[in-house]
Amino acid sequence: MDRFIIGEHVLIIDDCRDGGTATGQTGVYEGCFDLDTGAQLDGYPGNPRIRLQDGTEIWGYQCWWRPIRNAGPLQDEQEALEIHKDLLRAALKSLDDETEQE
């Protein structure tokens, strides 16, 4: 998580919450926090907290996001994300198949 800078503007590529509406919104990365205590941590294993433009927060585990400095057009980002998800699903299926054969 060190590559992210506290106060940096980020883009929400995909809001994964049920009924989430943050996809395409920008926010500010506030750092990594302990979900149980709320204490700010020095990077991983804390969970990133993003303050959206409307003042609400979204946690890193609830969305796909990246710094705006690295962001391309939202549609391109979403298409790339879907490719990555497909590759991950295929890799997990392959591992499951290997486990079943043992």
Give the position of tokens 């298409």: 79
Give the position of tokens 């699903």: 89
The pLDDT tens digits of the residues spanning 44-70 come to 688 999 999 999 999 999 999 988 876
40 near 6, Cβ under 8 Å?
no
According to the model, what pLDDT value does residue 53 have?
93
User: In the predicted model, is pLDDT for residue 1 greater than 50?
Assistant: no
User: In the predicted model, is pLDDT for residue 71 greater than 60?
Assistant: no
